[in-house]
Structure 1
Amino acid sequence: MARPRTFDEAAVVEAAAKLFARRGFDAVSIDDLVGELGVHRHSLYRTFGSKRGLYLRALRATRKQNLYAIAAADDPLEVLYAAVISEGIGSLDLLLMAAIEQGAADPEVAAEVTGAFAELDAITASLGNGTLSTATLLGIRLRARAGDDVARAAGELTGRTQTDQ
């Protein structure tokens, strides 16, 4: 008889999403996941099937939770603006890493990324061209990850400032 699961699956998926967002899929090993998540290797394989299985679950969960929260907010652009200028690893980072690192090589990842981009386009459509606005905001987010002070640029695009938060 299998032992009962001793970890919170949702918490493991969330922690894995942050790890993958910070380092990328290729730079995270199973040993990294075991050490970071505090879950035994056998449990990871039994629950998620593989590192890729956990990665896809993390990408889907992040998309569902974070993009839904942005879209459902009273002011979605304000929430998106905050995500873009965040100093920490945030809701857009796994999406960006997936697009850059795995999007061209993995059709399932590409489908998730494309769907997420379409959802963001719908949110940013009020700025004019949703596709262009999304691409610009994601580019600004990449600059933020590199340490650039991007609040002014993001604010100019969205009509927000840091004092609006």
Structure 2
Amino acid sequence: MARPRTFDEDVVIARAAEVFGRLGYNACSVDDLVEATALQRGSLYKAFGSKRGLFEKVLNRVLVGEWYREPAVLDLLITALRELAQTDLQIAALCRDVLHAYGEGAAELLGSRLLDHLPAHELNKE
């Protein structure tokens, strides 16, 4: 018989979202996730299958309701588009669906968030 989980999945996903948001997907290692979530490597893999599986779970958890109002969620969506969507059909479909549901202003929303990350002096260049 399998042992019951001894961790709160909501807490693990929130901590993983923070790490993915700070580092991005590619730069984030499983060791970073293990440290942030306080899970053992085996528990992380058993619960989520892989780093990618955890990232998908994070996206599914945060891309609900008024997700577009949360800068950290926009950063995760941008990370998914930049780092995974070109080669991962499921992530691409998730991104496409959520942006399609948002409507015509999706490109402006993402562009505005990308500009938020530029240093102020970069915006004032001519």
TM-score interval for Structure 1 and Structure 2 normalised by the shorter chain = 0.7 to 0.9
Deviations 1:34-78 (A, max 9, x none): 0111111111011111111111111111112xxx135xxxxxxxx
Aligned-pair Cα RMSD in Å: 1.9
Match of 2:124 in 1: none
Q: Does 1:26 align with 2:26?
A: yes
Q: Hey, what's the Cα distance between the residues in 1 that align with 2:86 and 2:75?
A: 17
Percent identical: 40
Deviations 1:123-163 (A, max 9, x none): xxxxxxx1xx22112111011123449xxxxxxxxxxxxxx
Residue pairs, 1:51-62, within 5 angstroms: 51-62=51-62
Task: Give the CA deviation at 1:21.
Answer: 2.0
Match of 2:13 in 1: 13
Q: Pick from 65, 81, 91 the counterpart of residue 109 of structure 1.
A: 91
Match of 2:82 in 1: 100
Task: Give the CA deviation at 1:18.
Answer: 2.1
Checking the alignment, whether the CA contact within 8 Å between 1:59 and 1:94 is kept in structure 2 is yes
TM-score (norm 1): 0.66
Checking the alignment, whether the CA contact within 8 Å between 1:14 and 1:62 is kept in structure 2 is no
Q: Which runs of 5+ in 1 are unaligned?
A: 71-78, 122-129, 150-165
Q: Which runs of 5+ in 2 are unaligned?
A: 122-126
Q: Hey, what's the Cα distance between the residues in 2 that align with 1:139 and 1:148?
A: 15
**Count of aligned positions:** 121
* Counterpart residue type for residue 54 of structure 2: L
* Structure number, greater radius of gyration: 1
TM-score (norm 2): 0.85
